[in-house]
Copies of this chain bind each other. A is one copy, B any other.
Amino acid sequence: MKMMIHGNRLRQSFPFTILLGLFGLLSLTVNAQTDISKGIFAKGQLGPAENFTGKAWNTGLVPQDSTLTTLVGNVYFEPGARSNWHTHPAGQILIITDGAGYHQIQGQPRQKLKKGDVVSCPPDVPHWHGASEKTGMQQLYIVPNTEKGIVKWMQAVTDTEYQDKKK
């Protein structure tokens, strides 16, 4: 009798444990392949095509003002997306909070970026930044001393430049 009860319970709970098992595998998969597009901040607005190649989503976090004189925001670059070449009159700080990408200062090798990396770019030096080919990038930007200006946009980053084929 006990065996029968056990058998019945086993059969009844079998689909449920299978379901839980699949859930376990699914959770593992989700953990391993985090969705980079779901960042800490709102996704924001699509950056204009004249300044970006591919899709870059910008959300402002601290607006320009005369007290803190510091502009802060977040950009999510979809895989393959990058900014045009550009300069900041007072420089820029980038903080990578998720994913992977690149930063390049004109005349220097392309630099790989990953979650936790921090970049300082000097004033008036042309640079570009963006996601890697296959993984997006979540990036906080800090523009200091905004009384000197914010950004001067330049030409697009070509595929050859992006892929760093000269190296």
Contact = CB atoms under 8 A, between A and B. Distances in A.
Contacts of A122: 67
A20 B24 contact: yes
Nearest to A15: B17
A72 B17 contact: no
Given A62-B93, A93-B62, A72 B23 contact: no
A2 interface: no
A68 B144 contact: yes
Contact of A14 (B10, B31, B115): B10
Interface of A is mostly: mixed
A142 to B, nearest CB: 6
A17 to B, nearest CB: 4
A67 B91 contact: yes
Contacts of A44: none
Contacts of A140: 95, 140
Interface of A: 10-11, 14, 16-28, 30-31, 40-42, 61-62, 67-70, 72, 90-91, 93, 95, 97-98, 115-116, 118, 120, 122-123, 140, 142, 144-145
Q: Which 4 A-B pairs have the closest CB atoms?
A: A20-B21, A24-B24, A27-B27, A23-B24
